[in-house]
Chains A and B, each alone.
Chain A
């Protein structure tokens, strides 16, 4: 069974930093592109970042470019999102998601999310 479990979401002050983690199990983690997405409670979905299977390629939404860094550790089946210079508009539920086999940007499994609140 595929499982994705996010952690690391807390309340943080504007300008602060946070590192989110996603623990993956039930599939060959090192075969797949992985994504981070976010959702303000009650609002729509926003793609944040992706990383290819071998970390060779990373991409970011314009809204987080230069502020967030995605990484992965295939030996630990883990995905990370380093978030710096956090702003109130970064408040959201953050999901990690697995890409569908053969398609880097369709997302067939999602975690339950971890809540990041940026507030003073």
Chain B
């Protein structure tokens, strides 16, 4: 079956612009996660959803970042007034649930470059 997909694969924007990054999880997976990865670093947790609700958004760096999952499937990460420091690869993952032994399946990521 299809894995986690993310669009676009690359996004170049200018400082101050608004961007949306999309994640399509594996069908049937109820949990969805967003991470951010800078060069040479491990992925950094941002937020995760169980169904439609954000179960933990403690990793969002500030109020310019927001994520939604209105129907419990596709999720969109939204970044307002982008800054050069937002440049990173944004990874999405999904899992069957929130149990601690559930494997997370990652998408290929969206590489965001803020000029």
A binds B: no
B contact set with A: CB distance below 8 Å: none
A contact set with B: CB distance below 8 Å: none
